[in-house]
Homo-oligomer: A and B are copies of this chain.
Amino acid sequence: MKRTHIGMDLQFEMEEVEAFVKQPDGSVFSWCERFHCYCHLIYGIANNSKSAKTLKFDGKEIFWEIGENLIQKLESENIVKQVFPLHDEKTRKKLLRTWALRWWDCTNQPIDDIYPYYGAKIAIYFAFLGMYTRWLFVLAAFGLTLQLVDFRSMKLVVLPVFFVVVILWAVMFCQFWKRKNAALLARWPLSSTVEAHSGYKIPGRKDSSLQSPMELIKVLEADRVKGKQVFQRYEWLGRFMRFRNDAIIIFSIICLQLPFELAYAHLYGVISSDVMKFGLTAVYLFSIQYITKIGGQVSVTLIKNENNENTEKRADSLVYKVFGLYFMQTYIGIFYHALLHRNFSTLRKILIQRLLLSEVLENLVENSLPYLKYSYKKYSVRHKKREKGESTDKFQFSSRVEKEYLKPTYSASIGEELEDGLFDDFLELALQFGMILMFACAFPPAFAFAALNNIMEIRTDALKLLVIFKRPVPRAAGTVGAWLNIFQFLTLMSICTNCALLAWLYDEEGKWKVEPGLKAILIMEHVLLLFKFGFPRLVPSEPAWVRANRAKHTTQAQNLCSKKLLRTISGGEKRGIKMKTG
């Protein structure tokens, strides 16, 4: 076990415990590290004796073979149903009071209390949500002013100003979030090794078919020149695999999902009967659920062939792919109505509808559905037990653990393996961000809706985590990951869409005065600009083998440092300092 040792990762030594940076709650290890330790210990119990043992439980007899893992055996026999972290009632109640049910202070949250309870990733989500909402207030005020005040002849000047302000706001928000994130991480003593390499790995899960980086590092150690070549091949193969997967996803989105969405949008516009419209929407909603689920499954399968460095990187890769699906699904209808038909009143209507209804409804459904499920489960268990005659009228759960077991897990709607419930929360945020930003010029008060919605969102998400769900498995990652890039992509998109909206606003007759040649050149220019700024993201500026080399060096240095310590110790008197490894 390695621990951050005032900025340097060293082997943890019990005797030197005072020298290590403490967590905000006073413990030496973070909640995430503790959880991984517990899992390691629990799943490490194996039959080390020389004969198979017989275990008895509830009248059943289980043979515990030599070397067999106890918990996995019990799980397969359905005796141990699940291993999950329990809520800590005292902290939970405190957080309920200071966080979920604190209504007067809109966006301030006790992030430093959330971090030790839920781990870095969830704390970062709420910090992000809080900062985003706080920043939204500026645009909400501006947007409402634009809606309420009649500027008359100035209107055509005010709207571009609003557009410019919105874009500047978005760019600065992304950048200042990065700074805030760095500041948060400086406050929490996250171990850099854990942050970079681990992520909770379910024991027994198979690794990808590609060579693992650890093996490659060994090759690099053996032969420098050959190792470098192998590493470069590994790096570029990985890039190619990822490129291929992205191409598959993009191709299938364009060829399969786009026609489907356009057909729905077109039919919805053409059909006049309300009943037919309702039926069409029902069919659409049913099938879209199905499509998204398939898309998620395909993405998860594809990602298994990528050689992403760690679980978090793999999750990021999944996020990009699945966001493509949701992007198409959410915005293509709006694009269809707004940009192709240039119908501003329809566009505004759709935006209000989506923002007001769907966001509020979604929030309600998102929270009530798991709660109803939980209640039903509780009821059915209670009912069963009562049938068995185990209890009297005044039924009590035998233990808190049993009650928590019935709670739903905080899991993603797609691919439980790689992402937890944060996926859905971030997705909601990103879709909202895209909606208000990309059509900012068409409907400025959208920002006020979004701000209100987010103030609600903070509370409901907090309640969800504290009351409805099981305590989630902590994740070590200390950034929002792929989502920040998605926010930046949406900012870029919104520059284009708003420009188009403005052009159409000023050119109401619908006559384009741009010749095909010039148009083509403009399009080309934009594509190139995109490439110019996108390429550095595709190919990192540091080759993987350099990074691996550095990592190797660091560990070597640590080993050397420890060895030196050991040598000086063994040379001197025995002072009883023991080094733990692993």
Contacts and interface: CB of A to CB of B under 8 A. Distances in A.
Contacts of A521: 160, 499, 502-503, 506
A352 to B, nearest CB: 26
A561 interface: yes
Contacts of A237: none
A541 interface: yes
Contacts of A8: 8, 553-554, 557-558, 561
A549 interface: yes
A536 B495 contact: no
A131 interface: no
Given A179-B539, A186-B546, A571 B565 contact: no
A172 B514 CA distance: 31
Nearest to A163: B524
Interface string A19-52: 1000000000000000000000000000000000
Contact of A550 (B186, B495, B575): B186
Contact of A182 (B176, B495, B542, B553): B542
**Pairs of residues from A and B, 5 with the lowest C-beta to C-beta distance, nearest first:** A572-B572, A7-B553, A8-B557, A178-B541, A186-B546
Interface stretch (A110-118, A255-263, A272-280, A526-534): A526-534
A478 to B, nearest CB: 13
Contacts of A186: 546, 549-550
A429 to B, nearest CB: 20
A168 interface: yes
A164 interface: yes
Contacts of A514: 513-514, 518
19 contacts: A6-B556, A167-B531, A171-B532, A175-B539, A175-B541, A179-B539, A179-B543, A182-B543, A186-B549, A186-B550, A491-B532, A495-B529, A495-B532, A499-B521, A499-B524, A503-B518, A514-B514, A514-B518, A568-B568
Interface in A199-254: none
Contacts of A80: none
Contacts of A543: 179, 182-183
Number of copies: 2
A517 B503 CA distance: 8
A532 B502 contact: no
A31 B577 CA distance: 41
A541 B179 contact: yes
Interface string A469-496: 0000000000000000000000110011
Nearest to A511: B515
A522 interface: yes
A5 interface: yes
Contacts of A176: 539
A541 B178 CA distance: 5
A104 interface: no
Contacts of A416: none
Contact of A546 (B182, B532, B572): B182
Interface of A: 5-8, 16, 19, 160, 164, 167-168, 171-172, 175-176, 178-179, 182-183, 185-186, 491-492, 495-496, 499, 502-503, 506-507, 513-515, 517-518, 521-522, 524-525, 528-529, 531-533, 535-536, 539, 541-543, 546, 549-550, 553-554, 556-558, 560-561, 564-565, 568-569, 571-573, 575
A32 to B, nearest CB: 20
A524 B569 contact: no
A528 to B, nearest CB: 5
Contact of A171 (B160, B522, B535): B535
A496 B528 CA distance: 10
A2 to B, nearest CB: 14
Given A8-B554, A572-B569, A524 B491 contact: no
B531 A168 contact: yes
A183 B546 contact: yes
A154 to B, nearest CB: 16
B542 A179 contact: yes
Contacts of A571: 572-573, 575
Contacts of A513: 513-515, 518
A553 B183 contact: no
Contact of A568 (B522, B560, B575): B575
B561 A572 contact: no
A557 B19 CA distance: 10
Given A175-B541, A492-B532, 5 more contacts: A172-B535, A175-B539, A183-B543, A506-B521, A565-B565
Which one of A492, A525, A571 has the highest number of Cβ atoms from chain B below 10 Å of its Cβ?
Answer: A525
B503 A507 contact: no
A348 to B, nearest CB: 21
Which one of A168, A172, A557, A571 has the highest number of Cβ atoms from chain B below 10 Å of its Cβ?
Answer: A557
Contact of A525 (B175, B178, B495, B558): B495
Contact of A517 (B164, B492, B507): B507
Contacts of A536: 175
A149 B573 CA distance: 84
Contacts of A528: 164, 167-168, 495
